[in-house]
Amino acid sequence: MWLSVSIATDARHAEALSDALLSRGALSVAVEDADAGTPREAPQFGEPGEGAAEFWARSRVIAMFERGADIQRITSAAADEAGLGATPTYEVTPVAEQDWVRLTQSQFEPIRINDGLWIVPSWHRAPDPRAVNLELDPGLAFGTGSHATTRLCLEWLCRHVAAGASVLDYGCGSGILAIAAARLGAGRVTGVDIDDGALRAAADNTRRNGVALQLLHAGQALDASFDIVVANILANPLCVLAPLLAARTRLGGRIALSGILATQAEQVRQAYRPAFELQAADEREGWLLLEGTRS
Protein backbone atom coordinates (compact mmCIF):
# COMPACT_ATOMS: atom_id res chain seq x y z
CA MET A 1 0.00 0.00 0.00
CA TRP A 2 1.19 3.51 -0.88
CA LEU A 3 -0.22 6.98 -0.26
CA SER A 4 -0.96 9.41 -3.10
CA VAL A 5 -0.96 13.03 -1.94
CA SER A 6 -2.56 15.70 -4.13
CA ILE A 7 -1.61 19.28 -3.19
CA ALA A 8 -3.16 22.44 -4.64
CA THR A 9 -0.65 25.13 -5.65
CA ASP A 10 0.17 27.56 -8.48
CA ALA A 11 2.67 27.88 -11.32
CA ARG A 12 5.08 29.96 -9.25
CA HIS A 13 5.48 27.33 -6.52
CA ALA A 14 4.88 24.01 -8.32
CA GLU A 15 8.51 23.19 -9.11
CA ALA A 16 9.87 24.21 -5.71
CA LEU A 17 7.14 22.25 -3.95
CA SER A 18 7.90 19.18 -6.07
CA ASP A 19 11.59 19.36 -5.18
CA ALA A 20 10.80 19.81 -1.48
CA LEU A 21 8.53 16.75 -1.47
CA LEU A 22 11.16 14.63 -3.23
CA SER A 23 13.78 15.68 -0.67
CA ARG A 24 11.41 14.48 2.08
CA GLY A 25 10.94 10.98 0.76
CA ALA A 26 8.41 11.18 -2.07
CA LEU A 27 8.83 8.18 -4.37
CA SER A 28 7.58 10.17 -7.37
CA VAL A 29 6.09 13.59 -8.09
CA ALA A 30 3.97 14.86 -11.00
CA VAL A 31 2.43 18.25 -11.76
CA GLU A 32 -1.01 18.41 -13.38
CA ASP A 33 -3.54 21.04 -14.38
CA ALA A 34 -5.94 21.51 -11.44
CA ASP A 35 -8.63 22.52 -13.97
CA ALA A 36 -8.20 19.47 -16.23
CA GLY A 37 -11.54 18.26 -17.54
CA THR A 38 -13.22 21.64 -17.02
CA PRO A 39 -13.77 24.61 -19.38
CA ARG A 40 -10.75 26.28 -17.70
CA GLU A 41 -8.36 23.49 -18.75
CA ALA A 42 -5.17 24.95 -20.22
CA PRO A 43 -3.24 22.61 -22.55
CA GLN A 44 0.54 23.02 -22.50
CA PHE A 45 2.54 22.34 -25.64
CA GLY A 46 5.21 23.92 -27.76
CA GLU A 47 7.76 23.35 -30.47
CA PRO A 48 11.57 23.33 -30.40
CA GLY A 49 12.93 26.85 -30.15
CA GLU A 50 9.78 28.28 -28.59
CA GLY A 51 10.92 27.84 -24.99
CA ALA A 52 9.66 25.60 -22.22
CA ALA A 53 6.01 25.61 -21.28
CA GLU A 54 5.13 27.07 -17.89
CA PHE A 55 3.19 25.23 -15.21
CA TRP A 56 -0.54 25.87 -14.91
CA ALA A 57 -1.82 28.90 -12.99
CA ARG A 58 -3.86 26.44 -10.90
CA SER A 59 -1.61 23.42 -10.53
CA ARG A 60 -1.89 20.17 -8.64
CA VAL A 61 1.26 18.45 -7.34
CA ILE A 62 0.76 14.70 -6.88
CA ALA A 63 3.33 12.87 -4.77
CA MET A 64 3.57 9.17 -3.90
CA PHE A 65 4.75 8.10 -0.43
CA GLU A 66 5.22 4.82 1.39
CA ARG A 67 2.50 3.81 3.83
CA GLY A 68 3.15 5.24 7.27
CA ALA A 69 4.67 8.52 6.08
CA ASP A 70 3.71 11.53 8.20
CA ILE A 71 1.93 13.37 5.40
CA GLN A 72 0.85 16.38 7.47
CA ARG A 73 4.38 17.03 8.73
CA ILE A 74 5.95 16.45 5.29
CA THR A 75 3.43 18.67 3.50
CA SER A 76 3.79 21.47 6.02
CA ALA A 77 7.60 21.42 5.86
CA ALA A 78 7.65 21.19 2.05
CA ALA A 79 5.20 24.08 1.73
CA ASP A 80 7.34 26.21 4.04
CA GLU A 81 10.49 25.42 2.05
CA ALA A 82 8.73 26.24 -1.22
CA GLY A 83 7.65 29.62 0.12
CA LEU A 84 3.93 28.88 0.30
CA GLY A 85 3.60 30.03 3.91
CA ALA A 86 0.51 28.26 5.22
CA THR A 87 0.08 24.54 4.57
CA PRO A 88 -1.91 24.22 1.33
CA THR A 89 -5.03 22.16 0.83
CA TYR A 90 -4.23 18.52 0.13
CA GLU A 91 -5.91 15.13 -0.25
CA VAL A 92 -4.53 11.69 0.60
CA THR A 93 -5.63 8.59 -1.32
CA PRO A 94 -4.47 5.02 -0.53
CA VAL A 95 -3.02 3.17 -3.54
CA ALA A 96 -3.10 -0.63 -3.44
CA GLU A 97 -0.11 -2.69 -4.52
CA GLN A 98 -0.35 -3.97 -8.08
CA ASP A 99 1.72 -5.80 -10.65
CA TRP A 100 2.83 -2.54 -12.26
CA VAL A 101 4.70 -4.25 -15.12
CA ARG A 102 1.65 -6.25 -16.13
CA LEU A 103 -0.62 -3.23 -15.65
CA THR A 104 1.59 -1.10 -17.88
CA GLN A 105 1.86 -3.78 -20.54
CA SER A 106 -1.90 -4.22 -20.59
CA GLN A 107 -2.24 -0.64 -21.85
CA PHE A 108 -0.31 -1.39 -25.05
CA GLU A 109 -1.92 -3.70 -27.59
CA PRO A 110 -0.73 -4.53 -31.12
CA ILE A 111 -1.45 -1.68 -33.52
CA ARG A 112 -2.82 -2.44 -36.97
CA ILE A 113 -1.51 0.02 -39.56
CA ASN A 114 -3.14 -1.83 -42.46
CA ASP A 115 -3.71 -5.45 -43.47
CA GLY A 116 -0.02 -5.92 -44.20
CA LEU A 117 1.67 -4.05 -41.33
CA TRP A 118 1.36 -4.31 -37.54
CA ILE A 119 3.30 -2.85 -34.60
CA VAL A 120 3.56 -5.54 -31.93
CA PRO A 121 4.95 -5.12 -28.36
CA SER A 122 7.36 -7.90 -27.41
CA TRP A 123 4.98 -9.40 -24.84
CA HIS A 124 2.24 -9.97 -27.44
CA ARG A 125 1.85 -12.61 -30.12
CA ALA A 126 1.57 -11.22 -33.65
CA PRO A 127 -2.16 -11.08 -34.57
CA ASP A 128 -1.37 -11.90 -38.22
CA PRO A 129 1.85 -13.89 -38.75
CA ARG A 130 1.53 -13.37 -42.52
CA ALA A 131 1.82 -9.57 -42.18
CA VAL A 132 4.96 -7.50 -41.63
CA ASN A 133 5.12 -7.35 -37.83
CA LEU A 134 7.44 -4.75 -36.29
CA GLU A 135 8.41 -5.54 -32.71
CA LEU A 136 8.58 -2.29 -30.73
CA ASP A 137 8.03 -1.64 -27.05
CA PRO A 138 7.02 1.75 -25.60
CA GLY A 139 10.15 3.58 -24.48
CA LEU A 140 11.85 6.93 -24.15
CA ALA A 141 12.24 7.54 -27.90
CA PHE A 142 9.26 8.84 -29.84
CA GLY A 143 7.61 6.42 -32.24
CA THR A 144 5.55 3.38 -31.27
CA GLY A 145 2.92 3.67 -34.00
CA SER A 146 0.18 5.02 -31.75
CA HIS A 147 0.55 8.72 -32.62
CA ALA A 148 -1.38 10.02 -35.63
CA THR A 149 1.72 11.44 -37.32
CA THR A 150 3.60 8.13 -37.07
CA ARG A 151 0.64 6.24 -38.51
CA LEU A 152 0.42 8.71 -41.41
CA CYS A 153 4.07 8.07 -42.24
CA LEU A 154 3.76 4.30 -41.93
CA GLU A 155 0.72 4.24 -44.21
CA TRP A 156 2.58 6.42 -46.71
CA LEU A 157 5.63 4.13 -46.67
CA CYS A 158 3.40 1.12 -47.31
CA ARG A 159 2.18 2.84 -50.48
CA HIS A 160 5.51 4.12 -51.76
CA VAL A 161 8.46 1.94 -50.69
CA ALA A 162 9.63 -0.07 -53.71
CA ALA A 163 11.99 -3.05 -53.52
CA GLY A 164 15.58 -1.87 -53.22
CA ALA A 165 14.70 1.82 -52.70
CA SER A 166 17.04 3.98 -50.63
CA VAL A 167 15.31 5.65 -47.67
CA LEU A 168 16.29 8.40 -45.22
CA ASP A 169 14.34 8.71 -41.96
CA TYR A 170 15.36 12.11 -40.55
CA GLY A 171 14.48 12.49 -36.88
CA CYS A 172 14.20 8.72 -36.57
CA GLY A 173 13.41 8.49 -32.85
CA SER A 174 12.80 4.82 -32.07
CA GLY A 175 13.65 3.92 -35.67
CA ILE A 176 10.11 2.78 -36.42
CA LEU A 177 9.87 4.38 -39.88
CA ALA A 178 13.34 3.26 -40.97
CA ILE A 179 12.71 -0.28 -39.71
CA ALA A 180 9.33 -0.37 -41.45
CA ALA A 181 10.93 0.78 -44.71
CA ALA A 182 13.55 -1.97 -44.46
CA ARG A 183 10.93 -4.62 -43.69
CA LEU A 184 8.83 -3.37 -46.61
CA GLY A 185 11.69 -4.07 -49.00
CA ALA A 186 13.87 -0.95 -49.07
CA GLY A 187 17.56 -1.44 -49.74
CA ARG A 188 19.83 1.20 -48.18
CA VAL A 189 18.09 2.74 -45.15
CA THR A 190 19.54 5.50 -42.96
CA GLY A 191 18.14 6.91 -39.73
CA VAL A 192 19.30 10.25 -38.32
CA ASP A 193 18.51 11.83 -34.96
CA ILE A 194 19.89 14.59 -32.75
CA ASP A 195 19.32 12.61 -29.53
CA ASP A 196 21.82 9.93 -28.46
CA GLY A 197 19.15 8.13 -26.42
CA ALA A 198 16.93 7.89 -29.48
CA LEU A 199 19.78 6.45 -31.52
CA ARG A 200 20.46 3.81 -28.84
CA ALA A 201 16.76 2.88 -28.84
CA ALA A 202 16.77 2.72 -32.63
CA ALA A 203 19.85 0.46 -32.59
CA ASP A 204 18.15 -1.89 -30.11
CA ASN A 205 14.98 -1.99 -32.20
CA THR A 206 17.00 -2.57 -35.36
CA ARG A 207 18.63 -5.67 -33.86
CA ARG A 208 15.30 -6.89 -32.48
CA ASN A 209 13.70 -6.70 -35.93
CA GLY A 210 16.60 -8.26 -37.80
CA VAL A 211 17.23 -5.41 -40.23
CA ALA A 212 20.38 -3.52 -41.23
CA LEU A 213 20.24 0.26 -40.87
CA GLN A 214 22.80 3.03 -40.89
CA LEU A 215 22.19 5.19 -37.83
CA LEU A 216 23.81 8.63 -37.65
CA HIS A 217 23.82 11.54 -35.25
CA ALA A 218 22.54 14.75 -36.85
CA GLY A 219 25.98 16.26 -36.31
CA GLN A 220 27.65 13.69 -38.56
CA ALA A 221 28.20 14.27 -42.26
CA LEU A 222 25.45 13.02 -44.54
CA ASP A 223 26.30 13.34 -48.23
CA ALA A 224 24.22 10.60 -49.90
CA SER A 225 20.98 11.20 -51.78
CA PHE A 226 17.91 9.00 -51.39
CA ASP A 227 14.90 7.81 -53.36
CA ILE A 228 12.66 8.53 -50.36
CA VAL A 229 13.10 11.01 -47.52
CA VAL A 230 10.66 10.91 -44.61
CA ALA A 231 10.67 13.25 -41.61
CA ASN A 232 8.14 13.10 -38.80
CA ILE A 233 9.14 16.02 -36.60
CA LEU A 234 7.28 19.35 -36.17
CA ALA A 235 6.56 22.23 -38.52
CA ASN A 236 9.19 24.71 -37.28
CA PRO A 237 12.19 22.33 -37.40
CA LEU A 238 10.93 20.95 -40.72
CA CYS A 239 11.14 24.46 -42.15
CA VAL A 240 14.65 24.93 -40.79
CA LEU A 241 15.69 21.57 -42.27
CA ALA A 242 14.21 22.27 -45.72
CA PRO A 243 17.54 22.94 -47.53
CA LEU A 244 19.16 19.84 -46.00
CA LEU A 245 16.27 17.47 -46.70
CA ALA A 246 15.82 18.80 -50.24
CA ALA A 247 19.52 18.25 -50.92
CA ARG A 248 19.31 14.67 -49.65
CA THR A 249 16.37 13.82 -51.96
CA ARG A 250 17.52 12.73 -55.43
CA LEU A 251 15.98 14.34 -58.51
CA GLY A 252 12.69 12.55 -59.06
CA GLY A 253 12.76 11.22 -55.51
CA ARG A 254 9.88 11.59 -53.07
CA ILE A 255 9.62 13.34 -49.71
CA ALA A 256 7.04 12.85 -46.96
CA LEU A 257 6.77 15.32 -44.07
CA SER A 258 4.58 14.93 -41.00
CA GLY A 259 4.12 16.54 -37.60
CA ILE A 260 2.32 19.41 -39.35
CA LEU A 261 -0.97 20.94 -38.24
CA ALA A 262 -3.36 22.02 -40.96
CA THR A 263 -2.76 25.69 -40.06
CA GLN A 264 1.00 25.22 -40.62
CA ALA A 265 0.81 23.56 -44.05
CA GLU A 266 1.37 26.69 -46.14
CA GLN A 267 4.38 27.70 -44.03
CA VAL A 268 6.00 24.32 -44.73
CA ARG A 269 5.07 24.42 -48.44
CA GLN A 270 6.80 27.78 -48.81
CA ALA A 271 9.93 26.52 -47.06
CA TYR A 272 10.32 23.62 -49.53
CA ARG A 273 9.79 25.60 -52.75
CA PRO A 274 11.10 25.52 -55.47
CA ALA A 275 12.53 22.03 -54.88
CA PHE A 276 9.07 20.60 -54.11
CA GLU A 277 5.45 21.48 -54.71
CA LEU A 278 4.10 19.79 -51.60
CA GLN A 279 0.57 18.45 -51.50
CA ALA A 280 -1.47 17.07 -48.63
CA ALA A 281 -1.39 13.28 -48.97
CA ASP A 282 -3.44 12.43 -45.91
CA GLU A 283 -4.85 13.81 -42.64
CA ARG A 284 -5.49 12.27 -39.23
CA GLU A 285 -6.71 13.93 -36.03
CA GLY A 286 -5.80 17.39 -37.32
CA TRP A 287 -2.29 16.38 -38.45
CA LEU A 288 -1.25 16.48 -42.11
CA LEU A 289 1.27 14.54 -44.13
CA LEU A 290 2.68 16.58 -47.01
CA GLU A 291 4.33 14.84 -49.95
CA GLY A 292 6.21 15.95 -53.04
CA THR A 293 8.59 14.91 -55.82
CA ARG A 294 12.03 16.54 -56.16
CA SER A 295 12.24 18.68 -59.26
Kindly report the CATH number assigned to the domain that includes residue 176: 3.40.50.150
Q: How many structural domains is the chain composed of? A: 2
Query: Does one domain contain both 151 and 289?
Result: yes
Q: What is the pLDDT of residue 106?
A: 54
In a domain, 107, yes or no: no
Query: Does one domain contain both 67 and 9?
Result: yes
Contact (Cβ atoms closer than 8 angstroms) between residue 80 and residue 72: no
Contact (Cβ atoms closer than 8 angstroms) between residue 64 and residue 73: no
- Choosing from 97, 127, 160, the residue where a domain stops is 97
CATH of the domain at 54: 3.30.70.120
- Choosing from 62, 97, 132, the residue where a domain stops is 97
Give exposure, 179-207, as e/b (b: 16+ Cβ within 10 Å). Answer: bbbbbbebebbbbbbebeebbebbebbbe
Give the separation between CA 106 and CA 123, rounded to whole angstroms.
Answer: 10
Query: Does one domain contain both 88 and 163?
Result: no
Q: What is the pLDDT of residue 204?
A: 92
Q: Containing domain of residue 162, as a range?
A: 145-293
In a domain, 183, yes or no: yes
- Choosing from 35, 64, 97, the residue where a domain stops is 97
Q: What is the pLDDT of residue 49?
A: 40
Q: What is the pLDDT of residue 36?
A: 77
Q: What is the pLDDT of residue 181?
A: 98
Q: What is the pLDDT of residue 109?
A: 81
Query: Does one domain contain both 32 and 153?
Result: no
Q: What is the pLDDT of residue 141?
A: 53
Total-model pTM: 0.67
Query: Does one domain contain both 204 and 68?
Result: no
Query: Does one domain contain both 60 and 155?
Result: no
Contact (Cβ atoms closer than 8 angstroms) between residue 274 and residue 285: no
Averaged pLDDT in 10-residue chunks for the chain of 295 residues: 90 92 93 79 50 68 93 94 87 75 60 92 88 80 76 96 97 95 97 92 93 95 96 95 97 97 96 97 94 97
Query: Does one domain contain both 176 and 279?
Result: yes
Query: Does one domain contain both 150 and 232?
Result: yes
Query: Does one domain contain both 78 and 176?
Result: no
In a domain, 115, yes or no: no
Q: What is the pLDDT of residue 38?
A: 75
